[in-house]
Amino acid sequence: MEFFNFHTHQFTNQSNVLELVNQYPHEFDASIPFYSIGIHPWHISEERLETDLKIIKEKLQTENCLAIGECGLDKRSEQPFENQIVVFEKQLALAEKYKKPVVIHCVAAFQEVIEIKKKLNISVPMIIHGFSKNSQVANQLIKEGFYISFGKYLLKNPDLKTVFQNVPNDKFLLETDTIEEKIQQVYSLAAEYKELELKELQDIILSNYLRIFKSDLS
């Protein structure tokens, strides 16, 4: 594994990239080698909820399922917020039971996510994907034990440069999410921002991967 793409919706099957492909329970694709699976706050369905949770529970017990998610809270979604909290907490309980990290989608609800982590005493790694906020939010998340993943917004928003530079090297991952750019492009910019050689950055990401996922698939 030369590159680790922490969160993507597209399986590109590059031999030197380990891709953690986002999967939804009702659209599961067994051909994808490594994946996360979860109920996105946009896609909560009351009719399907118990079935979705059952599928997630089954997949979490397999080696190819590296994490649960993306799941989380989104105050800009049309889904009732209280509903989102219930579904998020159910998935966190599964993450704890099966000792899997959590890929978190969070929009305008960082305080609530932090409070839920404390309330449920979550011990597994929790990673905020697609981070786009300021250093104050980043620092608070890191202080509360979260990891932060950067990708789309790092490429598109120069204001994130300083935020990213200030995140400790043992607290971040990189991703592509839904963008067409390859993970290698994200690594290249991240290395430039951190003033590191590409190999140094690869070693940092590998170390973080091993700490979070506790498995060596390289």
- The per-residue pLDDT for range 36-95, each reduced to its tens digit, is 999 999 999 999 999 999 999 999 999 999 999 999 999 999 999 999 999 999 999 999
- The per-residue pLDDT for range 130-142, each reduced to its tens digit, is 999 999 999 999 9
Average pLDDT over residues 120-136: 98
39: in domain: yes
214: confidence class by pLDDT, cuts 50, 70, 90 = confident
216: confidence class by pLDDT, cuts 50, 70, 90 = low
Mean pLDDT of the chain: 97
218: in domain: no
Count CB neighbours of 79 within 10 A. 17
199: in domain: yes
175: in domain: yes
Binding residues: 70, 105, 129, 177
pLDDT beyond 80 at 217: no
**What confidence score (pLDDT) does residue 186 get?**
98
CATH number at residue 152: 3.20.20.140
pLDDT beyond 60 at 100: yes
pLDDT beyond 80 at 218: no
**What confidence score (pLDDT) does residue 43 get?**
95
132: in domain: yes
In percent, how much of the chain has pLDDT > 90?
97
105: in domain: yes
Binding residues for a divalent metal cation: 70, 105, 129, 177
In the structure encoding, which two tokens stand for residue 23, read together?
């999967």
Q: Which range marks the domain in which residue 148 is found?
A: 3-213
111: in domain: yes
Domains identified in the chain, total number: 1
CB 127 within 8 A of CB 103: yes
- The per-residue pLDDT for range 175-189, each reduced to its tens digit, is 999 999 999 999 999
pLDDT beyond 60 at 24: yes
What single letter denotes the amino acid at residue 159?
A: D
Query: pTM for the whole thing?
Result: 0.96
77: in domain: yes
User: Residue 175: in which H helix or E strand, if any?
Assistant: none
CB 175 within 8 A of CB 197: no
pLDDT beyond 90 at 33: yes
In the structure encoding, which two tokens stand for residue 199, read together?
């190999």
